[in-house]
Amino acid sequence: MPLLELKGISRTYRNGSVVVEALKGIDLSIEEGDFISIMGPSGSGKSTLLNIIGCLDRPTAGTYELAGRRVEKLSDGELADVRNRLIGFVFQNFHLLADLDALGNVELPLIYRGVRGKERRRRAVEALESVGLGERLHHMPSQLSGGEQQRVAIARALVGEPAVILADEPTGALDSRSGENVMSIFRRLNRDWRITVVQVTHDKNIAQYGSRIYHLLDGEMERVEVLDRHRAGPQPEGPPPGHTGAAPGAAGSEPREVYSE
């Protein structure tokens, strides 16, 4: 069964007497361990689609199943729980809290889950070490480069052991080198830990880290581009030798470095 399955998803908005069709009958099926990219010009509906996938918005019509649950039927409270437990978000502008250090920012999702202090801190440290920021735990966002801030955001998404990471223009605010480093992390998380990654990007080179590119135009699925899977690194049939298949913080897991310059 697919991890994510959208059928006939439409989303309309009203602007006075004008009805805007942001999405028109989108079908999308994503398996566990996929790495896909969504592309399209401004106004194509890609951000609306990502918001629906991330349970930040509801479709006007159609069905959406996430890990076997009919998402469009959930209450607001249930949607918030799904977001917190199954989805990790990475945004273009990082969305870090300026008055918290790197460790504090990464701990936030675990606070919402009620994870106690000592365990929360252990998991947050482990997540930051996994993205190469073990020496930056107590740096404030203003003391970090753009690439380092995005790695903090990835650690924050990762610490909750999500089923899927959703990335909205994850390299849009970065220089090319920092962008490549960030995408290397996503690629390793997907390849080695089998974390599903769905990203929206304007950059064709960044899109090619995925195994499929979904092209949207005027709210409709224009075409699907299937890429050579080796472009995004080899995709093993199962976890590598000695790997538990758990994300950082999972029971029995050990810290794993997924970042390299």
CATH number at residue 222: 3.40.50.300
Residue 248 lies in a domain: no
88 to 75, 143, 237, 241: CA distances (angstroms): 20, 24, 24, 26
Residue 229: what pLDDT?
57
- Say if residue 242's pLDDT is above 50: no
Q: Which residue has the tokens 């069709």?
A: 21
Name the 3-class secondary structure at 99.
Answer: coil
- Say if residue 241's pLDDT is above 90: no
Residue 208 lies in a domain: yes
Can you give the pTM of this predicted structure? 0.84
Residue 30: what pLDDT?
96
HSE, side-chain direction, 13 A CA sphere, residue 7: 6
Name the 3-class secondary structure at 20.
Answer: strand
Residue 129: what pLDDT?
95
Residues 141-163 have a mean pLDDT of 95
Residue 254 lies in a domain: no
Residue 2 lies in a domain: no
| Range of weakest confidence among 63-67, 128-132, 250-254 | 250-254
Query: Which DSSP category does 142 fall into?
Result: G
Angstrom distance (rounded) from CA 175 to CA 171 = 8
Q: Quick one: what percent of the chain has pLDDT higher than 70?
A: 87
Residue 84: what pLDDT?
87
Residue 261: what pLDDT?
45
Residue numbers of the domain that contains 142: 32-46+84-232
Mean pLDDT of all residues belonging to the chain: 87
Residue 118: what pLDDT?
93
Residue 73: what pLDDT?
85
| Range of weakest confidence among 38-47, 86-95, 97-106, 221-230 | 221-230
Angstrom distance (rounded) from CA 115 to CA 194 = 24
Residue 59 lies in a domain: no
Count structural domains, the chain: 1
Residue 227 lies in a domain: yes
Residue 163 lies in a domain: yes
Residues 136, 92, 112: CA angle, nearest 5 degrees: 65
Closest by CA to 221, choosing from 36, 92, 57, is 36
Residue 90 lies in a domain: yes
- Say if residue 100's pLDDT is above 90: yes
Residues 136-143 have a mean pLDDT of 96
Residues 109-138 have a mean pLDDT of 94
